[in-house]
C-alpha cells in the first residue's frame, strides 16, 4: 500500500505545517528515572529499537531504487520483488524481501544537515544541534536529549533495571557525537552503555566490572565507607553534582548483583542456530598485500541485534544499536559504493535486520516493539567520479517495522531521481513525535533545560497514517 497525499488521513497542509513547527558517565547515566508518563492513551508499544546505520546508507541502492533512471543515478543494482506486490527492494536484500509485509518505508525523510555529526544529532534527537551544521572536533556537551533519554524521563512510574541501553560502542566521528545521552535532562538519563568484544563474542558494561581482587565483602565495605562519608557532611555541603554522583553509585551497587543484567548480556545462552541466523562472525580480510592482516573473524553486527532482542525481552524499553564493521568500515560510501555495499554492507545488514524482525515476531514481541532502521542521511542521486555516492540529507528513506505499523506500506515519495520529496515530506521532528506518541507520551508536552527555558518534546506531528486504524485515531 502506498500512502500518498490523496489517500492519507494526513493531508498535505498538515504535513507541511508539521515541518514548520565523569567516571560513570554514559555507562550508568540511564539508570535513574524521573517524571511521569503523560498522554491519555495507553502506550501502544513497550519498547523501541533504533538501528542506526552510521555514515548514511543509500536509499537509492536499498528501498527507493530508480530502475528507470539513467545509469548515473540508478547505479549497478537492480530491484527484486518482495513479498508485497509493488514494493521491490535491492537485489542485495533478499532476506528483507521476505519480511516487507511487516515493514513500512518512509521515502520522503529530509533535513538540512550535510555533515555527519549535525545530521546524527538531528536524526537521534529530532532537532538540529545549537551549533548548526558542523562536525565536532572537540568534546562538547550535548544539548537536546536523545529519544531514549526522553522516554526514560517519562518512565518514573516503572521499576526497570535498565530503562535505556546503547551498544556496542559510543559512536564518534572525531570525538563522541553529542546526541547519544540525556543532554539538558542530565547525565542521569544517559544510556546504560554496553560494549562488545569481537574476539570472544561477549558483552559487558565496564562500569559494572569489578576487579578480581574485589570480593563481595570488600565491595560491601566500600559502600559502608561511602555511607560514613556522606553522613558526615552537612546538608549545605552537598551539591547537586554530589547527589547525582551518589545516585550513580547506588544504582551501580544494585546492578552489580542484578540477575537481570547478567542474564540479558549472556548471549552465549542463545542456540547456535539462532545466532547463525542473525549472522555469526566471519574472517574478514583487512589491509592489503600478501601479508594482509585478518580481522578477528568476528563481525558483531548480527550479534548486536540479537542482544537488542534479548534486552527488549528482558524489559528494556529503549535500545540504540550503532551499526558498524570493526575494521573501521561504515556506510559513508564516497568511493566504490557498489562493491562496498554488495560485498560487506548490505549482506550482513540484510541478514541481521530480517532476523530481528522475524525473531521478535516469533516471540510475540513485534507488535509492542517499534524497530526503526535509518542512517543520518542518504546518498547523492548522482554517482561521483570515484563511483561513490556523497552525503544527501535532502531526501532519504527510513524503515519501520512492528509497533503497529501498517506492513507493506510506503509513506511519501521521492521525485524521479530520488533527490527531493515529491509527496508528504517528513523530518526527524515527525519521527521524534511518532516515537513518543507510540509510547503514550504527548509530543506536545514541555520540558525545561537547565536555564528553565521550555522546549516542546517534538516540533513535528506523529505520522499516524503509518499505523493501524485504532492507533491512528488514538490521541
pLDDT at res. 50: 98
Instruction: List C-alpha distances in Å: 362 to 5, 306, 309.
Output: 34, 13, 12
Q: Which helix (H) or strand (E) holds 411?
A: strand 409-411
Backbone φ/ψ region at 35: left (φ over 0), alpha (ψ -120 to 50), beta: left
pTM: 0.83
From residue 157, how far is each of 33, 34, 151, 154, 292 by CA, in Å? 8, 8, 12, 8, 54
User: If you ran DSSP here, which 8-state letter would residue 292 be given?
Assistant: P
What integer pLDDT is reported at residue 237 of this predicted model? Answer: 59
pLDDT value of residue 180: 96
* pLDDT at residue 361, as a whole number: 98
pLDDT of the chain along its 475 residues, tens only? 888 775 543 333 343 333 333 332 333 333 223 233 334 456 899 999 999 999 999 999 999 999 999 999 999 999 999 999 999 999 999 999 999 999 999 999 999 999 999 999 999 999 999 999 999 988 889 999 999 999 999 997 788 889 999 999 888 888 999 999 999 999 889 999 999 887 787 898 876 554 454 455 554 554 555 555 556 556 665 566 555 555 555 555 455 557 788 899 999 999 999 999 999 765 454 443 333 344 434 468 899 999 999 999 999 999 999 996 544 568 999 999 999 999 989 999 999 999 999 999 999 999 999 999 999 999 999 999 999 999 999 999 999 999 999 999 999 999 999 999 999 999 999 999 999 999 999 999 999 999 999 999 999 999 999 998 555 555 4
Closest CA to 388 of 340, 348, 420: 340
Q: What are phi and psi of 307, to 5 degrees?
A: -65, -35
**Predicted pLDDT at 332:** 95
- 412 sits in the region (left: phi over 0; alpha: psi -120 to 50; else beta) called left
What pLDDT was estimated at residue 126?
98
**pLDDT value at position 228?**
55
Report the distance separating Cα 111 and Cα 369, nearest Å: 26
Model pLDDT, residue 224: 55
Query: Could you report the per-residue pLDDT of 139-186, keeping only the tens digit for each?
Result: 889 999 999 999 999 997 788 889 999 999 888 888 999 999 999 999
State the chain's mean pLDDT as an integer: 83
* Residue whose cell numbers read 538540512: 112
Cβ contacts of 122 within 8 Å, gap of 6 or more: 111, 113, 128, 129, 376, 428
pLDDT for the residue 51: 98
Cα 252–Cα 440–Cα 434 angle in degrees, nearest 5: 100
Q: Which residue carries 529499537 as its cell?
A: 49
Q: Are strands 103-109 and 409-411 parallel, antiparallel or unpaired?
A: parallel
Write the DSSP assignment of 333-396 as a string of letters. -SSSHHHHIIIIIHHHHHHHHHHHHHHHHHTT-STTEEEEEE-SSEE-SS--TTS---EE-SSE
Q: Which helix (H) or strand (E) holds 306?
A: helix 301-313
Q: What is the 3-state secondary structure (H, E, C) of 11-72?
A: CHHHHHHHHHCCCCHHHHHHHCCCCCCCCCCCCCCCEEEEEEECCCCCHHHCCCCCCCCCHH
Q: Which element (helix H / strand E) includes 3?
A: strand 2-3
Q: CATH second-level architecture of 2-288+297-473?
A: 3-Layer(aba) Sandwich (3.40)
At 4 the pLDDT is: 74
pLDDT at 262: 85
Residue 77's nearest CA partner among 63, 98, 87 is 63
Amino acid at each position: 500500500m502506498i500512502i500518498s497525499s490523496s489517500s492519507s488521513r494526513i493531508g498535505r497542509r498538515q504535513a507541511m505545517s508539521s515541518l514548520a513547527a565523569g567516571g560513570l558517565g554514559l555507562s550508568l547515566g540511564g539508570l535513574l528515572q524521573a517524571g511521569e508518563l503523560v498522554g491519555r492513551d495507553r502506550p501502544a508499544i513497550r519498547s523501541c529499537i533504533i538501528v542506526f546505520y552510521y555514515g548514511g546508507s543509500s536509499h537509492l541502492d536499498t528501498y527507493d531504487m530508480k530502475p528507470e533512471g539513467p545509469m548515473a543515478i540508478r547505479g549497478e543494482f537492480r530491484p527484486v520483488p518482495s513479498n508485497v506486490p509493488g514494493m521491490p527492494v535491492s537485489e542485495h536484500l533478499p532476506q528483507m524481501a521476505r519480511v516487507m509485509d511487516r515493514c513500512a518505508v518512509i521515502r520522503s525523510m529530509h533535513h538540512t544537515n550535510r555533515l555527519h555529526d549535525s545530521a546524527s544529532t538531528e536524526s537521534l534527537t529530532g532537532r538540529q544541534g545549537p551549533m548548526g551544521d558542523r562536525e565536532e572536533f572537540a568534546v562538547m556537551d550535548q544539548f537536546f536529549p536523545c529519544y531514549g533519554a526522553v522516554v526514560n524521563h517519562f518512565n518514573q512510574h516503572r521499576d526497570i533495571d535498565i530503562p535505556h541501553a546503547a551498544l556496542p560502542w559510543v559512536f564518534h566521528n572525531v570525538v563522541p557525537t553529542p546526541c547519544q545521552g540525556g543532554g539538558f535532562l542530565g547525565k542521569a538519563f544517559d544510556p546504560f552503555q554496553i560494549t562488545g568484544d569481537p574476539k570472544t563474542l561477549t558483552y559487558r558494561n565496564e562500569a559494572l566490572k569489578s576487579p578480581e581482587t574485589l570480593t563481595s565483602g570488600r565491595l560491601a565495605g566500600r559502600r559502608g565507607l561511602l555511607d560514613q562519608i556522606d553522613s558526615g557532611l552537612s546538608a549545605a555541603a552537598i551539591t547537586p553534582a554530589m547527589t547525582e554522583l551518589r545516585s550513580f553509585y547506588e544504582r551501580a551497587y544494585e546492578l552489580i548483583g542484578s540477575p537481570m543484567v547478567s542474564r540479558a548480556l549472556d548471549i552465549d545462552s542463545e542456540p547456535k542456530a539462532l545466532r547463525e541466523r542473525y549472522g555469526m562472525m566471519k574472517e574478514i580480510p583487512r589491509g592489503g598485500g600478501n601479508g594482509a592482516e585478518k580481522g578477528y573473524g568476528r563481525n558483531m553486527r548480527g550479534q548486536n541485534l540479537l542482544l537488542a532482542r534479548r534486552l527488549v525481552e528482558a524489559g528494556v524499553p529503549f535500545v540504540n544499536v550503532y551499526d558498524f564493521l570493526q575494521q573501521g568500515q561504515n556506510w559513508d560510501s564516497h568511493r566504490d559504493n557498489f562493491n562496498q555495499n554488495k560485498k560487506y554492507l548490505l549482506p550482513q545488514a540484510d541478514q541481521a535486520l530480517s532476523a530481528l524482525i522475524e525473531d521478535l515476531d516469533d516471540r510475540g514481541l513485534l507488535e509492542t516493539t517499534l524497530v526503526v532502521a535509518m542512517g543520518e542521511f542518504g546518498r547523492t542521486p548522482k554517482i561521483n567520479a570515484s563511483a561513490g555516492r556523497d552525503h544527501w540529507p535532502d531526501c532519504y528513506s527510513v524503515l519501520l517495522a512492528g509497533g503497529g505499523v501498517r506492513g507493506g506500506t510506503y509513506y511519501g515519495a521521492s521525485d524521479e531521481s530520488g533527490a527531493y520529496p515529491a509527496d508528504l515530506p517528513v523530518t526527524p521532528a515527525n519521527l521524534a513525535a511518532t516515537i513518543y506518541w507510540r509510547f503514550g507520551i504527548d509530543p506536545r508536552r514541555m520540558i525545561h533545560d537547565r536555564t528553565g527555558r521550555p522546549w516542546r518534546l517534538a516540533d513535528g506531528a506523529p505520522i499516524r497514517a503509518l499505523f493501524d486504524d485504532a492507533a491512528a485515531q488514538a490521541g
